[in-house]
Structure 1
Amino acid sequence: MYLPAAHALVRDDHPASRSFFYAGTMGLIVVTLVALSMGGRPSRHGPVSQLLSLLATFLLLPAFLAVPLHHALGTTSFMNTYFDMVSALTTTGADIFGDPARLVSTLHLWRAEVGWLGGLLMWIAASAILAPMSLGGFEVTARGEPGRGVGGPGEMRRLDPRLRLARVARTLAPIYAALTVVIWILLLLLGDDSLTALCHAMSVMATSGISPVGGLSGAQSGVSGEAILFLFMFFALSRLTFSGDTAVRGYARLDRDPEFRIGLLVVVVLPLLLFLRHWWGALDITASEPAVSALRALWGSLFTVMSFLTTTGFESADWDTARQWSGLGTPGLILMGLALIGGGVATTAGGVKLLRVYVLYLNGLRELERLVHPSSVGGGGMQGARIQKDGAFIAWLFFMLFALSMAFVTCTLAALGVTFDQALVLSIAALSTTGPLIESVAENPIRLVELNAAAKGVLCGAMVLGRLETLAIVALLAPDLWRR
């Protein structure tokens, strides 16, 4: 909170500066007192307690993060600011305030910073908390134990949970921060102002889609800036782009990673299909610059597909160009499908995850082989080297839980007065942590601020569920885990 406090002080916005400074100081005092009171107690930090702490972080911490935002804004209810902080911390990025002009630059910085810290939290928690418990996508991997750079799998499992958390944080936090700084500097060189460049850099690394200018159409860096963001979105396609802790022999190379290859296939093939569809629709339409319009339409599709596959949610400034060029509307169903697929395991992306989709593909391929050769014995070979023995069953179980969660959230929102089509869009956006999907897909604008308190509460729970995933919540209810 001291960063936005200093930013507001430089801009002579003293009320906002005091809000963040006092809230940050109060938080430090409370945390220090709690640490002093519990410092002499023996460690009881097992996997369950850390998972509970992670759940409490997404549910309770936003109430504290919303205090300076509510006090500095002063024109909205505390529920709205709590919803916004849950959205930012879970890297969903659903904008409840709508018009960016409603917030001063300091508040935009705070929202982007919370989203960035939420992404860092998931990077660390995936390795230090979820992987040792075989959750968060690690349940389908043959080597789900992280920490290759700080000890072998067995060593990491035997470590004290707090020591493991510290080691993983020391390993991953500098990488995360350095990549963010690189994006920020590149966007500055391309013409963005400092705040916009920093917020977009934080949003891409965290896949939160938070922007102080209403998206990339308001940025000054143009297509060059979009190209920079596009390249750094690859870090959300596979864990192996920044860490080798989930690799097995033969898959340490990125070009052999199934997640990365599937993501690359989707990013290349789907924009080409959209481009051909637009090109077919533009045959009878006279364009003054057909070649330029075609290239802009192709780039708009390429960037937007990549953005929604990684659950970032940024639309290219040329996304509308494709529709104007061809005269056809682009269905939002494609964007919802991309967000549901999601990015890589143990990244900041949400959704079902590419590795689970790959496992289900292998299982379907094996079932087709058994139709031809019923008595055959299947072997994973190199393709299945990264998959556990029961990986397909677990992936299917997660997929069903995800579908049931989506149906439950949709029906609950509909029961609370939201129209069914809007309830479906909201549930997919929340569970896949792709907040910008709400504005990109809905035919009629959905104003989140006009939802009743119960509907906002349901969406908050759905965002937390989508961030932690249903298997982690189910794990907290397992009696055997508590006894251990």
Structure 2
Amino acid sequence: MRRPNKLSRDLTQLPLFLLMFGIGTASMLVPAGYALATDAHGPSQAFFYAGLLGVVTFLLIGMAHAGRAPREGALGPLLSLFSAFVFLPVVFAIPFVEALPTTRFFNAYFEMLSALTTTGATLFEDPTRLSPTLHLWRAQVGWMGGLLMWVAAVAILAPLNLGGFEVTAQAEPGRRETGMYSTAPLAPRERIKRALDTLGPLYSGLTLLLWVLLVFAGQEPLDALCHAMSVMATSGITAGGDPASGGIIAEIVMAMFMLFALSRLTFSSDTMTATQGGLSTDPEFRIGLGIILLVPSVLFARHFFGAIELDNGETITGAIKAFWGSVFTVVSFLSTTGFVSEYWSETQSWSGLGTPGLILMGLALVGGGVATTAGGVKLLRVFALYRNGVREMEQLVHPNSVSGAGIAGRRLQSGGAFIAWIFFMLFALAFAAVTLALTFVDVPFDEALVLAIAALSTTGPLTEMGGEGPIALMSLTDAAKAILAGAMVLGRLETLAIIALLTPDLWRS
């Protein structure tokens, strides 16, 4: 009989995409078990048979690959990650469309791609059309997508100086670092295994803790579980219930867990960042907290003066509710989760002034921290441009001055800021291209702007909150849905990673 460690070694030698396929199909047994426990035999059979077929397929292909040493170049793991986002939703859509035969397979694929990329945009405006099992499956796929990004950040993107790590790295994006912090001695599979062993229990434990806290706050168990998985993955997926159903206690708890999306240092120190002084000196976390305090304060002041002019007689309690509504919503959209506070309407109606969705779109564009589940441009790139701007102003006053920021700081002010600026330009070009492509397929220009930002920043709830009214994604043409699907993959992997996959020199190396 084969020893367990020998079996484990054989499994790790399988292609990375095949391993992700096997894990994804095996996870279908979770919604199958839930559906069986709730007497939903139709969805239970759909997920059980799809999962069983997937596991059998995985075992057959795995046996065919047994004994073969993996042959992957420097970009092999990155290609596997790209393939996972493009092709795994096809597999995940099979039980979805079987459990909901009234929809088309392409719509199911879009729904699963939106979940796996942690975008969370949904085609189904009426949540009652989906059964509780399908709501759980959507949230679970989004949760797995979040874990995938947690692991891929340190095991795949960081060694290639992609995903935001290019800002502080010495090597060029897409190439391995050769300095003292190089991770080249470790094989890609070993890095992935170590990251999964370290981060998997942490990710699962935090999700379980948040679920328990939300249940105690008064949410229904299924709603609380979906909200917990959505907050950790920043997917913004719900089971049809209101994320604020637990009141202000539930919102405070969720806001605390959303802070994990502001900086990798909030849950791990396995990657190099712009500072080694811990969370207290981490630039991403400090900038994130600054935005969380600044934006609600500006909104509060604007509404406060508006309330005085209107003389509507609101109490201090109403002002506090309005302020908290803006704080929670800012935290949510900055982390690209997209939940809206119960008191968000108080924030707008307290003064009689409507808060434009442009603010929420701007927060989603900034996004969270590098190597987290959040999307957007990332706070570290914003910090690099800020440091470069401060340095340029110093040189205007003192042209011969020398920066005292140290080696890492000077790298961030010069080369890091240059790479960050390149990324901003690529992001702007992608945003313009997606918006233009959507207008070509008869999407109104204002809706195309919102959809492009929602897809590229992986903040699906912007489709409901970013414009004048909710955008009906189901009414879009297949061409528009395909454009959005490509934009979601581009927003999740980022433009530099896609360019790295298209570089012939890197493939030859």
Does TM, scored on the shorter chain, surpass 0.5?
Answer: yes
CA offsets per residue over residues 38-69 of structure 1, 9 Å max, x none? 12212213331111111110011101101111
Q: By how many angstroms is 1:100 displaced?
A: 1.2
Q: 1:298 to 1:83 in 2, by over 3 A?
A: same
Query: Is 1:467 paired with 2:467?
Result: no
Deviation of 1:446 after TM superposition, in Å, equals: 1.1
The DSSP-based 3-state class of the residue aligned with 1:33 is helix
Q: Distance in 2 between matches of 1:478 and 1:452?
A: 33
Pair 367,386 (structure 1): closer, same or farther in 2 beyond 3 Å: closer
Could you say which residue in structure 1 is the equivalent of 2:388? Answer: 363
Counterpart-to-counterpart distance in 2, 1:248 and 1:84: 34
- Report deviation, 1:247: 4.7
1:48-104 CA-partner distances (Å, limit 9, x unpaired): 111111111001110110111111011111111111100000000001101111111
Say yes or no: does 1:352 pair with 2:389.
Answer: no
Q: Number of aligned pairs?
A: 476
Question: In structure 1, which of residues 153, 170, 173 is the aligned counterpart of residue 200 of structure 2?
Answer: 173
1:169-191 CA distance string (max 9 Å, x none): 10111110000000000011111
Q: Which residue of 1 aligns with 2:239?
A: 212
For the structure 1 residues 26 and 227, does the alpha-carbon distance in structure 2 shift closer, same or farther, using more than 3 Å as the test?
same
Range that drifts further, 406-415 or 72-81: 72-81
- Return the offset for 1:376: 3.0
C-alpha displacement at 1:142, in angstroms? Answer: 4.5
Alignment pair present for 1:40 and 2:67: yes
Q: Which residue of 2 aligns with 1:7?
A: 34
In structure 2, runs of 5+ residues without a counterpart are 1-27, 172-178
Q: Which amino acid aligns with 1:22?
A: Y
Change (3 A) 1:372 1:289: closer
Q: Is the 8 A contact 1:247 1:386 kept in 2?
A: no
| Structure 1 residue aligned with 2:109 | 82
Residue 385 of structure 1 and its aligned partner are, at CA, apart by 7.3
Query: What is the TM-score with the length of structure 1 in the denominator?
Result: 0.95
Partner-residue secondary structure (3-state), 1:158: coil
Name the residue aligned to 2:508: 483
**Which digits, 9 at most, give the CA deviation of each residue in 1:330-378, with x for residues without a partner?**
0111101000000000000000000000000111111112222233333
Secondary structure (helix, strand or coil) at the match of 1:429 reads: helix
C-alpha change, 1:162 and 1:341, in structure 2 (3 Å) is same
3-state SS of 1:428 partner = helix
The residue that corresponds to 1:198 in the other structure is: 225
Counterpart position of 1:226:
251
Letter in 1 for 2:356: P
Deviations 1:356-412 (CA, angstroms, capped at 9, x unpaired): 000001111111122222333334349827838511111000010000000000000
**Gap change, CA 1:457 and 1:139, over 3 Å in 2:** same
Contact 1:356 1:395 in 2 (8 A): yes
The one-character-per-residue Cα deviations of 1:132-161 (angstroms, maximum 9, x if unpaired) are 0000001112489xxxxxxx9757421121
Equivalent pair of 2:283/2:380 in contact (CA under 8 Å)? yes
| 1:351 to 1:248, Cα distance in 2 relative to 1, 3 A | closer
* 2:248 counterpart letter in structure 1: V
C-alpha deviation, 1:427, in angstroms: 0.3
SS in 1 for 2:184: helix
Q: Is contact 2:263–2:368 with CA below 8 Å preserved after alignment?
A: yes
Structure 1 residue 444, shift from structure 2 partner:
3.5
Q: Please tell me the root mean square deviation across aligned C-alpha atoms, in Å.
A: 1.9
| Residue 466 of structure 2: aligned partner | 441
Is the CA contact 1:215–1:315 (under 8 Å) kept in the aligned structure 2? Answer: no
Alpha-carbon distance in structure 1 between the residues aligned to 2:274 and 2:421 = 26
Q: Which residue of 1 aligns with 2:184?
A: 157
After TM superposition, the structure 1 = structure 2 runs for residues 266-345 of structure 1, keeping only pairs within 5 Å, are: 266-287=291-312, 289-345=314-370
Is the counterpart of residue 405 in structure 1 residue 444 in structure 2?
A: no
Partners of 2:411 and 2:147 in 1: CA distance: 25
CA contact (8 A) 1:47 1:129 kept: no
Deviations 1:9-64 (A, max 9, x none): 11111110000001111111111111111122122133311111111100111011
SS of the residue aligned with 1:122? helix
Give the TM-score of the pair, scaled to structure 2.
Answer: 0.90
Matches within 5 A, 1:385-424: 387=412, 390-424=415-449
Structure 1 residue 303: deviation in Å?
0.3
CA change 1:32–1:154 in 2 (3 A) is farther
1:420-447 deviations in Å (ceiling 9; x for gaps): 1100100000000000011001114310
Amino acid at match of 1:300: G
String of CA shifts for 1:213-269, please: whole Å, max 9, x gaps: 25424x2x1110000000001100000001112356963321100000000000011
3-state SS of 1:446 partner: coil
Contact 1:141 1:388 survives alignment (8 Å): no
Percent identical pairs in the alignment equals 58
Q: Secondary structure of the residue that 1:387 maps to in structure 2?
A: helix
Is 1:261 equivalent to 2:290 in the alignment? no
Q: Which ranges of structure 1 fall in alignment gaps of 5 or more residues? A: 145-151
SS in structure 2 opposite 1:132?
Answer: helix
Structure 2 CA distance for partners of 1:281 and 1:71, relative to 1, 3 Å: same
Closer, same or farther: CA 266–255 of 1 in aligned 2, 3 Å: same
